[in-house]
Chain A
Amino acid sequence: MIAPRWIGLVLAVMTMAIVVANQHEVGLARDEIVYMQHGARYADWWLGLAKLEHGASRQHITKSFGGPGATDNNREHPPLMKTLFGLSHRLVHKRLGVDEVTAFRLPSAILHGILVGLVFAMVLALWGTAEATVAALLVMFLPRALFHASLAAFDAPIMTLWFATIYAYWRSLDGRKWPWQVGVVFGLALATKHNALLLPFALGLHYLYVGFRAGGLRGLILHRWRVIVSLALLGPLTLVAVWPWLWFDTYAHLRAWLDFHLTHVHYNFEYLGHNWNAPRFPWHVALVTTLFTVPVVTLAGSLVGAGVWISRRVAAPDRARAPGLLLGLSAAASITPFFLGTTPIFGAEKHWMPALPSLCIAAGVGIVWATRALAERLSRRHATAVLGAFAGVIVLAAAVETVTAQPYALTWYNALAGGPPGGADRGMNRQFWGVAARGALPVLAPHAPATGSAPVYTHDASPAWGFYQKLGLLPRSLPDAGHEAAGIERSRFAIVIHERHFNRHDYLIWKSYGTVQPLYVLRARGVPIVSIYKRRPSR
């Protein structure tokens, strides 16, 4: 009999391997290029510091981590993941010879594996092996989360570090003397993405609840006070420790970081047939988008699981630490800001992905509870095997959705929405970040001239264009033509990455090229994602 913890480890490693394999087909995201470039700088700074090549003076730090402008050296985002991307690049690419993009993206993949492992560990401790296995598999088979984990970006990693904080907090409520883990992990979450600032709402409410139940008014503060101290002290200290930009003018730099996000511009996104770029947004965006971007079986299973939690709350495991409530508050803290109608939503579900582990855990509990009852009714003797088969069929549905979604998962919608074509019919967001341009490269490459060059209007893929050439996916004779109308005028080819607010690029190209006819239209399950135009020869 395999020890359950090994199952968790295998699932975690499998997840990491799936992400690494998947990312090979995923194009370079616009912001990802920025994170890679700055991550390499941050890594060099740390390596230089470790080798005593330079000190930690204000000047040295500013050169790599800051500057007077709000986005200088990408100082609007905390550095943890960027630093890991850079270190991975230096080690895994430069030393071990793994390809550059994989090396940059490896930390995201590892963290996604860790997420699956942590979900397994928590559910195993509370409910059992079957529940843990199903919950972990449902996390593994979240199509959009798998996509985001395939990028050197922050959205999947913050899902991991958010959940890691929830897990560490839950563990720390056991009364241990030195619950340093929760503070450190919370600090790492803060150093990953500003979503982590919402975590205290979940943890605070939960602490008040368990504290009051354990010790009345006195327990509100003193129940497990060391946990509070750990979060309040070690969290910020960890953030500062990994972010040299906070080593001086700390208050001003923290304020600038938060101000950037509190006053963030509203990007365009499409929702139910309307292009949104200014508040108020519909209150139901997060609800409907989640409904359409999580496998239906996971959604249905989570409803069953939530029902089980609520109806059996008296007999629930580990009542003193109220894990069901903790997971519910975790999901609520992550997603609630998007019901307000004013929070920027442009990246859709990626902004509230930390809610998804709670959903998958509920689904794991609900699916196993129901299928176990059915299995026992059908065959008491082979109940475990029958349970495995039934749960397997349910998980298979999530796996089929996940496989279908890649590599253009931002265009994918679940069966409830009607798949990618159903998402397009409903006017849901087509994509963002220019990732799909990767699929246009094999069409463009054969058109490269033998001599001279044929500039390409690369539009939203512009930041990634040089990298694609460096990777050998595009000949050097197809350079980026430049921005907007001037770039189009210079170009011999043009691409348009289809998002509703990018229609204007089509029209600029039509005007310059004198035709509305693309050379080729790249599609994801039939839905247009990139058009490629070729300028007609001048008469």
Chain B
Amino acid sequence: MSGRVDPPVPRSWLAVWLPVWLAGLLLAIAVWEIVATRHAATRVPGDDTWRRAAAVVRAGHQPGDLIVFAPPWVDPVGRMHLGDLIPVEMAGRMDADRYGRIWEVAHAGERAAETAALRPVEERAVGGLVVRRFERTPVEIRADVRELLPQARIAGPGRPTLELAEVGFTPRRCIQVSPPPGQAVRITFALPAGTLVGHAGLADVFTRRDIRAPGTLDVEVGGRVVASVSPGVDDGWVRFAAPIPGGDVTFVARAPAPQRLICFAAEVRP
């Protein structure tokens, strides 16, 4: 060998070790990703676990008990195993306040919105699922406008109907009315005294997409507005409440745009 050899160019400590560290990091990420991917693919409880959890619910279930699931996306699987105990009216409930006993079947660590503020009286882990039972004093329902719709007095263009509608991507059994733009539909019920608690929203995702205007629902007693909500296209199922005296209570639905499917439900409670 002959010739001159160039002296090596000195490299900084960082330049030498950075790629080595990064290689180690990439390898660590790869190993983690392989393990995490396989874990994620198998972590959701299967039908055997669901069957065992459903058996726990069935053993203690009483007519009228509410059954809920968590997280929300597991709802179809829950209904597959326990849907025979969930009447359509219960699935389309206004809210959960009228239910004194609630069963919750949830993935470990998950809770349903209906039970978030409650403490379970019974809790059993079944595989990757947890079955919880909650008990509380249910609210007394003095009147439900949905049941009184056939006797209601209606004024204005548009006929309200009782529907099972999609409002905010949830099922709602509600009175649905579609007032022409700028006109009001008035629906009057004879109700007992108490606190009127209700919810309202806009039904049907496609009309909500195509027409972006809100709808408005006023509650009038003796010509005076005691509650008013104007649910918009992204507001879902909006709550309202107001004390009412016994007598005529009028729900006034109106909208500035066509095809506003205003849906509402309301109950008189103490």
Residues of A within 8 A of B (CB): 266, 268, 274-275, 277-278, 295-297, 300-301, 304, 366-367, 369-374, 377, 390, 393-394, 396-397, 400-401, 404, 414-415, 418-422, 424-425, 498, 500-501, 503-504, 506-507, 510-511, 514-521, 523, 525-528, 531
**B80 touching A521, Cβ below 8 Å:** yes
Let me know if B73 is at the binding interface, CB within 8 A: yes
**A277 touching B26, Cβ below 8 Å:** no
Q: What residues of chain B lie closer than 8 Å to A526, measured between beta carbons?
A: 41-46
Q: What residues of chain A lie closer than 8 Å to B41, measured between beta carbons?
A: 404, 419-420, 525-526
Sample 14 A-B pairs with CB under 8 A, ordered by A number. Answer: A268-B209, A404-B37, A414-B33, A415-B33, A415-B36, A424-B71, A501-B205, A503-B166, A503-B171, A515-B84, A515-B88, A518-B76, A518-B79, A525-B40
**A415 touching B76, Cβ below 8 Å:** no
**Which chain B residue shows the least CB distance to A504?**
B166
A506–B164 Cα distance when bound, in Å, is 10
**B40 touching A419, Cβ below 8 Å:** yes
Of the listed stretches B15-23, B114-122, B146-154, B239-247, name the one at the interface; the rest are far from the partner chain.
B15-23
A209–B55 Cα distance when bound, in Å, is 70
**A397 touching B84, Cβ below 8 Å:** no
CB distance from A192 to the nearest CB of B (A): 29
Q: What residues of chain A lie closer than 8 Å to B38, measured between beta carbons?
A: 400, 404
CB distance from A304 to the nearest CB of B (A): 5
**A421 touching B91, Cβ below 8 Å:** no
**B166 touching A507, Cβ below 8 Å:** yes
**A415 touching B27, Cβ below 8 Å:** no
A520–B32 Cα distance when bound, in Å, is 34
Q: What residues of chain A lie closer than 8 Å to B234, measured between beta carbons?
A: 274
**A507 touching B33, Cβ below 8 Å:** no
**B83 touching A418, Cβ below 8 Å:** no
A373–B169 Cα distance when bound, in Å, is 53
**B88 touching A514, Cβ below 8 Å:** yes
Let me know if B127 is at the binding interface, CB within 8 A: no
Let me know if B258 is at the binding interface, CB within 8 A: no
**B164 touching A400, Cβ below 8 Å:** no
How many positions in chain B have a CB within 8 Å of any CB in the partner chain?
Answer: 54
Let me know if B139 is at the binding interface, CB within 8 A: no
A527–B41 Cα distance when bound, in Å, is 10
Residues of B within 8 A of A (CB): 19-20, 22-27, 29-34, 36-46, 71, 73-77, 79-80, 82-84, 86-88, 91-92, 164-166, 169-171, 204-205, 208-209, 212, 233-234
A277–B222 Cα distance when bound, in Å, is 41
**A300 touching B23, Cβ below 8 Å:** no
**Which residue of A415, A506, A510 is within 8 Å of B40 (Cβ)?**
A415
CB distance from A536 to the nearest CB of B (A): 10
**Which residue of B43, B44, B73, B79 is within 8 Å of A516 (Cβ)?**
B79
CB distance from B209 to the nearest CB of A (A): 4
**B169 touching A401, Cβ below 8 Å:** no
Q: What residues of chain A lie closer than 8 Å to B79, measured between beta carbons?
A: 516-518
**B171 touching A419, Cβ below 8 Å:** no
What's the dominant secondary structure at chain B's contact region? helix
CB distance from B134 to the nearest CB of A (A): 21
Q: What residues of chain B lie closer than 8 Å to A515, measured between beta carbons?
A: 83-84, 88
A441–B26 Cα distance when bound, in Å, is 41
A65–B191 Cα distance when bound, in Å, is 64
**Which residue of B20, B29, B165, B233 is within 8 Å of A397 (Cβ)?**
B29
**B33 touching A373, Cβ below 8 Å:** no
A238–B205 Cα distance when bound, in Å, is 42
**A510 touching B91, Cβ below 8 Å:** yes
Q: A377 and B20 in contact (CB under 8 A), knowing A393-B31, A517-B79, A518-B83?
A: yes
Q: What residues of chain A lie closer than 8 Å to B164, measured between beta carbons?
A: 507, 510-511
**A296 touching B71, Cβ below 8 Å:** no
**Which chain B residue shows the least CB distance to A374?**
B23
CB distance from A437 to the nearest CB of B (A): 15
A422–B87 Cα distance when bound, in Å, is 30
Q: What residues of chain A lie closer than 8 Å to B31, measured between beta carbons?
A: 393, 397
CB distance from B123 to the nearest CB of A (A): 22
Q: A528 and B165 in contact (CB under 8 A), knowing A304-B26, A396-B34, A518-B83?
A: no
Q: What residues of chain A lie closer than 8 Å to B73, measured between beta carbons?
A: 424-425, 527-528
Q: What residues of chain A lie closer than 8 Å to B20, measured between beta carbons?
A: 370, 373-374, 377
**A374 touching B34, Cβ below 8 Å:** no
Q: What residues of chain B lie closer than 8 Å to A501, measured between beta carbons?
A: 169, 205
**Which chain B residue shows the least CB distance to A277?**
B209
CB distance from B159 to the nearest CB of A (A): 18
**B33 touching A296, Cβ below 8 Å:** yes
Kindly list 17 other residue pairs between chains A and B, CB separation below 8 angstroms, not including A370-B23, A394-B30, A517-B80. Answer: A278-B233, A374-B24, A397-B34, A420-B40, A421-B44, A422-B40, A503-B169, A504-B204, A504-B205, A510-B92, A510-B171, A515-B83, A516-B83, A518-B80, A518-B83, A525-B41, A525-B44
**Which chain A residue shows the least CB distance to B22?**
A370
A370–B22 Cα distance when bound, in Å, is 6
CB distance from B98 to the nearest CB of A (A): 18
**Which chain A residue shows the least CB distance to B32?**
A415
**A373 touching B23, Cβ below 8 Å:** yes
Question: Ordered nearest first, which 4 A-B pairs have the shortest CB separation?
Answer: A526-B44, A419-B40, A517-B83, A373-B19
**A275 touching B205, Cβ below 8 Å:** yes
Q: A400 and B37 in contact (CB under 8 A), knowing A300-B29, A425-B71, A528-B76?
A: yes
**A396 touching B19, Cβ below 8 Å:** no
Q: A401 and B37 in contact (CB under 8 A), knowing A421-B43, A515-B83, A518-B79?
A: yes
